[in-house]
Amino acid sequence: MTNISVEDITGDAPQQEPRTDWKQYFSFSTDHKVIGIQYIVTAFILFLVGGIFAMIIRGELITPESDLVDRSVYNAMFTMHGTVMLFGWTFPILTGFANYFVPLMIGARDMAFPRLNAVAFWMIPIAAILLMASFFVPGGPAQAGWWSYPPVSLQNPTGNLINGEVIWLLAVAISGVSSIMGAINFVTTIVKMRAPGMTFFRTPIFVWNVFSAQIIQLFGLPVLTAGAVMLLLDLTVGTSFFDPTKGGDPVLFQHFFWFYSHPAVYVIILPVFGVFSEIFPVFARKPLFGYKIVAISSLLIAGVSGIVWVHHLYVSGTPGWMRLFFMLTTMFVSVPTGIKVFAWTATIWGGKLRFDTPMLFAFGALILFVFAGITGITLSSVPIDVHVNNTYYVVGHFHYVLYGTVTMGMFAAIYFWFPKMTGRMYYEGLGKLHFWLAFIGTNLNFFPMHPLGLQGMLRRVSSYAPEYEFWNIIASIGGFLLGVSTLPFILNMIGSWIHGEQAPKNPWRAIGLEWLVASPPPVENFEEIPVVVSEPYGYGKSEPLVAEH
Partner 1 sequence: MKIRNILILSAIAILLAAVSLWIGQWTYSWMPPQAAAESHLVDKLFSFLITLGAFIFLGVTGTLIYSAIFHRAEQYDTSDGPPIEGNITLEIVWTAIPVLLVFWIATYSYQIYEQMGIQGPMEAMHIHIPIGMRSASAAPINGDAGIVSASPTSSIVSTDATSNVIAFEDIEVNAKQWAWVFRYPEKGITSTELHLPVNHRIRLAMQSEDVLHGFYIPAFRVKQDIIPNRNIDFEFTPIRIGKYELTDSEFSGTYFATMRANVVVESPEDYKKWLAEAANRKPCTANNQAASEYAQESKELIKGWVTVAPAQAPVVNYSN
Site string for partner 1, 239-278 (x = CB under 8 A): -----xx-x--xx---------------------------
Is 64 a binding residue for ligand HEM by CB under 6 A? The answer is no
Residue closer to partner 1 (CB basis): 110 or 385: 385
Is 328 a binding residue for partner 1 by CB under 8 A? The answer is yes
Binding partner at 290 among ligand HEM, partner 1, Cu ion, none, C-beta below 5 to 8 Å by kind = partner 1
Contact 430, 492 (CB under 8 A): yes
Q: What distance in Å separates the CA atoms of residue 220 and residue 227, rounded to the nearest whole number?
A: 11
Q: CB of 78: closest distance to ligand HEM in angstroms?
A: 4
Is 505 a binding residue for partner 1 by CB under 8 A? The answer is no
Residue of 462, 472, 485, 496 that binds partner 1 (CB under 8 A): 462
Q: Which of the stretches 155-163, 289-297, 477-485, 488-496 binds ligand HEM when contact is defined by CB under 6 A?
A: 477-485
User: Which of 111, 142, 141 is CA-nearest to residue 35?
Assistant: 111
Is 71 a binding residue for partner 1 by CB under 8 A? The answer is yes
DSSP state of 90: I
Is 472 a binding residue for ligand HEM by CB under 6 A? The answer is no
Contact 61, 477 (CB under 8 A): no
SS3 letters for 476-533? HHHHHHHHHHHHHHHHHHHHHHHHCCECCCCCCCCCCHHHCCCCCCCCCCCCCCCCEC
Q: What distance in Å separates the CA atoms of residue 176 and residue 171, rounded to the nearest whole number?
A: 9
Residue closer to partner 1 (CB basis): 270 or 343: 343
Beta strands in 75-122 (DSSP E): none
Residue of 24, 30, 63, 66 that binds partner 1 (CB under 8 A): 66
Residue closer to ligand HEM (CB basis): 283 or 400: 400
Is 471 a binding residue for ligand HEM by CB under 6 A? The answer is no
User: Which of 212, 271, 213 is CA-nearest to residue 412?
Assistant: 271
Is 479 a binding residue for ligand HEM by CB under 6 A? The answer is yes
Is 355 a binding residue for partner 1 by CB under 8 A? The answer is yes
Q: What distance in Å separates the CA atoms of residue 519 and residue 524, rounded to the nearest whole number?
A: 13
Site for ligand HEM in 383-422 (CB under 6 A): 395, 399, 402-403, 406-407
Is 262 a binding residue for Cu ion by CB under 5 A? The answer is yes
3-state secondary structure of 408: helix
Is 465 a binding residue for partner 1 by CB under 8 A? The answer is yes
3-state secondary structure of 374: helix
Q: What distance in Å separates the CA atoms of residue 437 and residue 533, rounded to the nearest whole number?
A: 42
Q: CB of 77: closest distance to ligand HEM in angstroms?
A: 8
Is 241 a binding residue for ligand HEM by CB under 6 A? The answer is no
User: Which of 393, 387, 248, 385 is CA-nearest to residue 313?
Assistant: 385
Query: Which CA distances in Å does 448 have to 378, 384, 456, 476, 538?
Result: 17, 18, 13, 10, 42
Residue of 95, 217, 225, 389 that binds partner 1 (CB under 8 A): 389
Measured in residues, the chain has a length of 549
164 DSSP β-pair partners: 141
Binding partner at 262 among Cu ion, ligand HEM, partner 1, none, C-beta below 5 to 8 Å by kind = Cu ion
Name the residue with the smallest CB distance to Cu ion: 262
Q: Which of the stretches 264-272, 346-354, 489-497, 526-534 binds partner 1 when contact is defined by CB under 8 A?
A: 346-354
Q: Which of the stretches 33-41, 217-225, 363-371, 435-443 binds partner 1 when contact is defined by CB under 8 A?
A: 363-371
Is 505 a binding residue for Cu ion by CB under 5 A? The answer is no
Distance of CA 487 to the CA centre of its chain: 21
Is 347 a binding residue for ligand HEM by CB under 6 A? The answer is no
Q: CB of 185: closest distance to partner 1 in angstroms?
A: 32
Residue closer to partner 1 (CB basis): 267 or 294: 294
Contact 409, 365 (CB under 8 A): yes
Residue closer to ligand HEM (CB basis): 61 or 282: 61
Backbone angles phi, psi at 391, to 5 degrees: -110, 180
Contact 523, 534 (CB under 8 A): no
Q: DSSP states of 160-224 as a string?
A: -SS-HHHHHHHHHHHHHHHHHHHHHHHHHHHHH-PPTT--GGGS-HHHHHHHHHHHHHHHHHHHH
Residue closer to ligand HEM (CB basis): 78 or 439: 78
Amino acid at 376: G
Residue closer to Cu ion (CB basis): 262 or 505: 262
Residue closer to ligand HEM (CB basis): 265 or 511: 265
Name the residue with the smallest CB distance to ligand HEM: 82
Q: What distance in Å separates the CA atoms of residue 386 and residue 364, rounded to the nearest whole number?
A: 31
Distance of CA 434 to the CA centre of its chain: 19
Site string for partner 1, 403-442 (x = CB under 8 A): ----------------------------------------
Q: Which of the stretches 29-37, 269-277, 315-323, 489-497 binds partner 1 when contact is defined by CB under 8 A?
A: 315-323
Is 459 a binding residue for ligand HEM by CB under 6 A? The answer is yes
Q: What distance in Å separates the CA atoms of residue 522 and residue 15, rounded to the nearest whole number?
A: 10
Residue of 32, 33, 58, 262 that binds ligand HEM (CB under 6 A): 58
Q: CB of 57: closest distance to ligand HEM in angstroms?
A: 5
Contact 420, 18 (CB under 8 A): no
- Assign residue 286 a region (left: φ > 0; alpha: ψ between -120 and 50; beta: otherwise): beta
Q: CB of 93: closest distance to partner 1 in angstroms?
A: 25
Positions that interact with ligand HEM (CB under 6 A): 51, 54, 57-58, 78-79, 81-82, 85-86, 89-90, 145-146, 395, 399, 402-403, 406-407, 445, 459-460, 479, 482-483
Positions that interact with Cu ion (CB under 5 A): 262
